[in-house]
Structure formats: C-alpha cells, structure tokens
Amino acid sequence: MTFDKGSLILVDYTAKVKDDDEVFDTTLEADAKKYSLHEENAKYHPKLVSIGETSYPVLKGFDEALAKTSVGDKLTIEVTPDKGFGARDSTKVRMIPLRKLGEDAEKVSVGDTIEVDNKRGIIRFIGSGRVQIDYNHRYAG
C-alpha cells in the first residue's frame, strides 16, 4: 500500500552526500554520534512528513520516493539535484578582495560559512588577497 497525498507519516533517515558519503542530517541518535553530528540538547526522533505537501517540508525527491513506499519499508534513495538542493550555478560563485571582510579577514578559513552583502556563502578559496565565496547551497549539484 502506498501513501496518498496528505498522508502523515513518521520517517527515520540518515542523509548523505553521494560523492563522499558525508552525512549531513539524521533523525537517529546513534548515527548522529557515529558521524560526529550529535548535539547534546537535540531530540532525536522520527520526522513527521506530509506526503506531497509543503506543511512538513522535505526534499522533493525524498517526498516522491516516500509516496511510493509502504509502512516498514527500508530504502536507499538517490535525490537528483533538481529534486534536492538544486544544480550548481557558477554565477553564484564570486571572487572578492579579502579586505572586504573587514575585521573577519584574519579569522576566516576555507569551508567557513560567512555573510557578505546580506547573502550567506561558503569560502572555497583564500589567496593573493582574495577570497572565493560560493553562494550555492552547500549540497547543490
């Protein structure tokens, strides 16, 4: 039996990046500890999902796969960029002078998330007095 649009279901999951197996989200405390994501005050429990609805949002590809399952099924789902965090957009990668970061210029390093011009981005490169900031979603593409 599959789920109809609007069905409310509880789902446990562990989400990974396909290319490098980096775990970026989980509802399971054991996995949170295993992959160094554990937060002491967090409550680990199944996520409530409303199939096909935006009131309990999940990635579109995840939602579509859940709609085709039954209670108790265990799945491995691959979510494509268009149904996940979007495709990478090279126009969202900017090179700016390091001095534009002001006092933070001495504190930042590659991989940090920072806000510049009211946009959040990830530092991908620092060198020669410049910093490359990627404004794509961390898991885009």
64 and 104, same domain (yes or no): no
Nearest-angstrom CA–CA distance, 76 and 63:
13
Domains in the chain, number: 2
19 and 61, same domain (yes or no): yes
Q: How many angstroms separate the Cα of 20 from the Cα of each of 1, 11, 94, 115, 139?
A: 34, 24, 25, 26, 11
61 and 115, same domain (yes or no): no
**Domain that includes residue 39, residue range:** 8-83
76 and 108, same domain (yes or no): no
The per-residue pLDDT for range 6-55, each reduced to its tens digit, is 999 999 999 999 888 899 999 999 999 999 999 999 999 999 999 998 77
**Residue 47 belongs to domain with CATH number:** 3.10.50.40
The per-residue pLDDT for range 118-132, each reduced to its tens digit, is 999 999 999 999 999
What does pTM read for this prediction? 0.77
Q: Tell me, yes or no, whether 30 lies in a domain.
A: yes
